[in-house]
Amino acid sequence: MNRREWLTEEFERQRPHLRGVAYRMLGSISEAEDAVQEAWVRLDRRDPGGRDDLRRWLTVVVGRISLDMLRSRRSRREDYAGSWLPEPIVTGTSTDSPEHDAVLADSVGLALLVVLETLSPAERLAFVLHDVFAVPFDEIADVVGKTPAATRQLASRARRRIHDSAPQPDADLAVQRSVVDGFLAAARAGDFDALLRVLDPDVVFRFDGGGSGPLARHAIQGAEAVARELLSTGAPFAPLAEPAFVNGAAGAIVRAAGRPRYVVGFTVVKGRIAALDLMGDPAKVRGLSDQQGAIE
């Protein structure tokens, strides 16, 4: 095997890992794929040499590409109406590997990704590369154009924000599924009191319709307000909701005419739903059928 053949084979072996880096940075599977492809172009143009550290080199390259994409995207999203939510990873109604789903929920759960969106691009990069993928601060510093000490502070601020803002979901998928099943049953029955029993008093309901349409609206907070909203506007869709796993946690998918229309992610904390994330952006929902590649 010559050098180019080895690089091609090794890159494909690292693709799930690189896709995972980019997805955590961008919250978008399609953009993550673009970042990974750009990394291949850069590798093809400039062989870094050696064999032992290619994975780390590629990790940093994908981080750099994702940082540039994130900065550009944030400047375009100033007038985005509604909540920008991550492109969901939907894995069906059952899982053959609960351990894998638990890891997925912990590392790319919606609760974490929503908070990552509130960080500056540099903070997000420092946290993702260092805390998730153990890249040393001196290598990250070169990407963000800061000293290693300043880069360490970026990660520290990100870590504090995540600790303070991201709820810790119940780890047991069976508990999550039971709570979400109870929620779906109550929504289908139009049972206001049953909805209140499964909703946290401070529950937040976020909407992402792609920045336009009926989902281009502010989040709703509070159990009673969320329950009223669900019963008034969600009644036609409740019978169409199917259980699914969304980013490794219990969720639901709503289909119309056989095609996905909405994906709902639930954050279940202490046996109650602390957050609902309704994703109806056509670009994100339409891409569900194309989610064939794994991420790490």
**What's phi and psi for 201, nearest 5 deg?**
-55, -30
| Residue 229 burial by Cβ neighbours in a 10 Å radius (0-12, 13-18, 19+) | middle
Name the CATH topology of 1-78.
Answer: Rna Polymerase Sigma Factor; Chain: A (1.10.1740)
Residue 270 clears pLDDT 90, i.e. is over it: yes
Nearest Cα to Cα of residue 140 among 129, 131, 124, 132: 129
pLDDT tens digits, residue range 189-222? 999 999 999 999 999 999 999 988 999 999 999 9
CA 260, distance to chain mean position in Å, is 18
The Cα angle at residue 130 between residues 8 and 63, in degrees rounded to 5: 45
pLDDT tens digits, residue range 42-51? 998 888 877 6
Q: Domain limits of the chain?
A: 1-78, 110-166, 173-290
Tokens of 275: 């957050």
Whole-number Å distance between alpha carbons of 143 and 7:
23
Q: What is the pLDDT of residue 107?
A: 73
CA atoms in the 13 A half-sphere facing the CB of 86: 27
Residue 94 clears pLDDT 60, i.e. is over it: no
For residue 58, give Cα distances in angstroms to 30, 154, 166: 19, 22, 29
3-state SS of 214-230 is CCCCCCEECHHHHHHHH
Whole-number Å distance between alpha carbons of 245 and 43:
35
| pTM score | 0.90
Residue 184 clears pLDDT 90, i.e. is over it: yes
Q: What is the pLDDT of residue 147?
A: 97
pLDDT tens digits, residue range 98-117? 555 555 666 789 999 999 99
Spell out the CATH class of 110-166: mainly alpha
Which CATH number is 173-290 given?
A: 3.10.450.50
For residue 43, give Cα distances in angstroms to 56, 166, 296: 13, 36, 20
